[in-house]
Structure 1
Amino acid sequence: MTVDELHRARQEYDALVARGLKLDLTRGKPSPRQLDLANGMLEQPGEHVSAAGVDLRNYGGLEGLPELRAIFADALQVPVDQLLAAGNSSLELMHDAIVFALLGVVPGAERRWADSEITFLCPVPGYDRHFAVCERFGIKMAPVPMTPDGPDMDVVERLVAADPQIKGIWCVPKYSNPDGTVYSDETVHRLATMETAAPDFRIFWDNAYAVHHLTDTETAIADLLALAAEHGHPDRVFVFGSSSKITFAGSGVAFFGSSPANIAWWLSHTSKRSIGPDKLNQLRHVRFLRDADGLRTHMRKLADLIRPKFEVVDKILTAELGGTGLASWTSPAGGYFITLRVPPGCARAVVAKARGAGIALTPAGASHPYGDDPDDRTIRIAPTYPEPPELEAAISGLATCVRLVGAEKQAAG
């Protein structure tokens, strides 16, 4: 790194700051144009009754509408009678699952989780809100490295076999947050069949991006719920999903699927906190999406809006950082995020420089438990919300920040 190169990098950054940008890439939010595609839900005619003739304006129906569960059952790989449709947030269901297990006794357990210290395995990089739930309840977190096939199963199998206090693992199996990793069939099979010291071990299978393909290829994953049952672990899997990034982010429908025993356990607890979900909202979804083919058609429309944004990110990063040795990044086939990796020790500095230039990013370290990325090199990019001109400005500005931090690091020796 020459003095001239460092000087040029600083000049580029000063010019970026002088633009007075105000851009936000912090969260994976649907754009207004994505949300507009679901506006037809607000115009659905007809009676407020289910296919079975139930008045949906009234109490009841904790399981959710069967016709809506049927639309999502194949995508989530859960039989309809083992799938529940609930409120608008799958994160809320994951939070509830932890609370119910802490304060109750899950099938197969000898005691409540709250009666002993427990640990969750956390594939990294991973979803910061999973980690926040654990922190909220004092659950210890053990990082597990991600591989191109999912979590490092050699590490997972060794840990769960040795420690009965390890009660769960967080998994985003398809187009994972933030890498876009798709779990291989071998990984899913090993998760289903591995021996665990805890008889009440649970896999929190957050299949948030089950239908969020960016290409015409609908990537498939092995059926964990069926495999676990086939190999003698029917209660191991908690499946979560939602329509929040499909229809309206604030008014979607969340789903919970599992074994019959776990479903009975769940309903016994949730019946104490609710007299039923918003069934009229569920009916709107049924009438708008119609069936599984209708869901697929809608997702293709969403992909047509989202795909160009991922292409913009890849194009700019390639043009501005390709071949520099300062960064690498993922090119996912689906999902909502791109992971940018910078040299070790640089992520926090890059995020700080970007913030100083008016570009808000998810905090460096958010992809790891306790906000601590030991290598300080992972940055999550959420490209879905901005319109292309804003996204181009943000990614180009981010590249400027990476070049400056890289130049300063090299100059410092």
Structure 2
Amino acid sequence: MSLTTSLSPEALSAFHAETERAYAALREAGLSLDITRGKPAPEQLDLSAELLSLPGADYRAADGTDTRNYGGLLGLPELRAIFADLLGLPAEQLLAADNASLALMHDTLSFALLHGTPESPEPWRDQGDIAFLCPSPGYDRHFALAEHLGFRLIPVDLGDDGPDMDQVREHVADQAVKGIWIVPTYANPTGAVVSEAVAAELAAMETAAPDFRIYWDNAYAVHHLSDERVKSADIVGPCAASGHPNRPLVFASTSKITFAGAGVSFLGGSPENLAWYTGHAGFRAIGPDKVNQLRHARYFKDADGVLALMERHREILAPKFAIVERVLTDRLGPHDVATWTRPKGGYFVSLDVVDGTAAHVVALAKEIGLALTPAGSSFPYKSDPRDRNIRIAPSFPSQADLEQAMQALATCVLLAAAEKALAA
């Protein structure tokens, strides 16, 4: 991508001057805009306001459990059944926990470090170098968690159908490689969807580490942006069929379905993995917030209730993603300075600008009052080798603010591209 191939030197200078004037006008406008994180908008949170009046005076679950009291590490059966249906798992292989699936990821990794997994010859902390594969661009919180716990991060390329399996197979021949992060449906930030074929390869591949884990974070399983409801690939069944029943740990939550700060998280996997988790988690807590689980079960009623709610989310989100697509197409498309994803679901758009300019684009945006996720955040150690990727999070701003933010971002991308072309 380069302006130098499409404009004469004179035209390039004129284009740069025009873009500088547009940028100066933005600086004078006193913007205060933020598209850094994929938070639900207030209007989306309002959709679940009924939760605040539930469960009402009756705190007993379907099996008679008094949800106000201790116990129940697996969570309420009626809520587990609803999300087992949505995630394609047997209900007995899914537990419901507190509000954050990231906490479940933290705990399972910490338990493996301290105690090992059912297949571990010894705790991970006693095995020397420990590494995790990081399909990139990917979810920054996954990478930050693994780095925080002392794991070595190994980037692998992420395509439209999942991680590059040639690279994955090469790395898992090293026994230090203990796992891989996967967002199977509408990946953060690209919107990639892992295919059944790639899932089958992940399930069946030979790994040097007997305790290799697939961290299958199905955070956006029901977060569709069109009439097409993309179905998540199964990973638990193929792993069991391939003789690796304990390989996958499946995560999900209601964080972007109901209340982001007061939802329910889920952990799915083999019976042995759930017994391993609860055997350690029981020392940390006597049970999850079952009152919150009961209010969610009564609010949703069934899996169709979840899907109906997500249709109302789509009515709010889809027009925002349409704004992103329109502005990028109109402003950047004619100049061959960027490519971007067109996701069918999820919360993000991944924008690739001219190589070597992403950090400069973010700095230019900050100067005019537009906050962007730091360049490189979607890569291990926050280091994008080509300095080109920027994650766009359209969900939280109003449509009017998002329009302003995208117009400003487009100007910054064009100015950075023009400056680089002039310096060439």
TM-score bracket, normalised by the shorter chain, equals over 0.9
For residue 241 of structure 1, what is the aligned residue in structure 2?
A: 252
Deviation (angstroms), 1:46: 4.3
For residue 49 of structure 1, what is the aligned residue in structure 2?
A: 60
User: Is 1:343 paired with 2:354?
Assistant: yes
Q: 1:7 aligned to 4, 17, 20, which one?
A: 17
For residue 118 of structure 1, what is the aligned residue in structure 2?
A: 130
Residue deviations 1:26-47 (CA, integer Å, cap 9, x gap): 1000000000000011123340
Q: Which amino acid aligns with 2:116?
A: V
Q: 2:273 aligned to 259, 262, 275, which one?
A: 262
CA contact (8 A) 2:119 2:211 kept: yes
Mapped partners of 1:169, 1:411: distance in 2: 41
CA contact (8 A) 2:76 2:290 kept: yes
For residue 98 of structure 1, what is the aligned residue in structure 2?
A: 109
Q: Which amino acid aligns with 1:185?
A: E
Q: For 2:228, what is the secondary structure of its paired residue?
A: coil
CA contact (8 A) 2:224 2:314 kept: yes
Deviation (angstroms), 1:167: 0.3
Q: 2:236 aligned to 222, 225, 247, which one?
A: 225
What residue ranges of structure 2 are gaps of 5+ in the alignment? 1-8
Q: For 1:106, what is the secondary structure of its paired residue?
A: coil
- Structure 2 matches for 1:123-202, cutoff 5 A? 123-160=135-172, 162-202=173-213
Residue deviations 1:327-360 (CA, integer Å, cap 9, x gap): 1111100000000100110100001101111110
Q: For 2:78, what is the secondary structure of its paired residue?
A: helix
Deviation (angstroms), 1:323: 2.2
For residue 334 of structure 2, what is the aligned residue in structure 1?
A: 323
Deviation (angstroms), 1:222: 2.3
Runs of 4+ deviating beyond 4 Å = none
Mapped partners of 2:213, 2:99: distance in 1: 23
Moved more, 328-337 or 217-226: 217-226
For residue 279 of structure 1, what is the aligned residue in structure 2?
A: 290
Deviation (angstroms), 1:135: 1.3
Question: Number of paired residues?
Answer: 412
- Structure 2 matches for 1:389-404, cutoff 5 A? 389-404=400-415
User: Is 1:366 paired with 2:377?
Assistant: yes
Mapped partners of 2:345, 2:13: distance in 1: 41
Deviation (angstroms), 1:144: 0.2
For residue 26 of structure 1, what is the aligned residue in structure 2?
A: 36
CA contact (8 A) 1:77 1:225 kept: no
For residue 312 of structure 1, what is the aligned residue in structure 2?
A: 323
For residue 49 of structure 2, what is the aligned residue in structure 1?
A: 39
Q: Which amino acid aligns with 1:134?
A: A
**In percent, how many aligned pairs have the same letter?**
54
Mapped partners of 1:194, 1:333: distance in 2: 29
Deviation (angstroms), 1:5: 1.5
Indicate the RMSD between aligned Cα atoms, in angstroms. 0.8
Residue deviations 1:40-62 (CA, integer Å, cap 9, x gap): 11123340000011111110011
Mapped partners of 1:270, 1:314: distance in 2: 44
CA contact (8 A) 2:35 2:393 kept: yes
Moved more, 80-89 or 45-54: 45-54
Residue deviations 1:105-132 (CA, integer Å, cap 9, x gap): 2011101111121100000000110111
Q: For 2:24, what is the secondary structure of its paired residue?
A: helix
Deviation (angstroms), 1:78: 2.1
Mapped partners of 1:387, 1:129: distance in 2: 25
User: Is 1:82 paired with 2:93?
Assistant: yes
TM-score (norm 2): 0.96
Mapped partners of 1:144, 1:75: distance in 2: 29
Mapped partners of 1:265, 1:381: distance in 2: 38
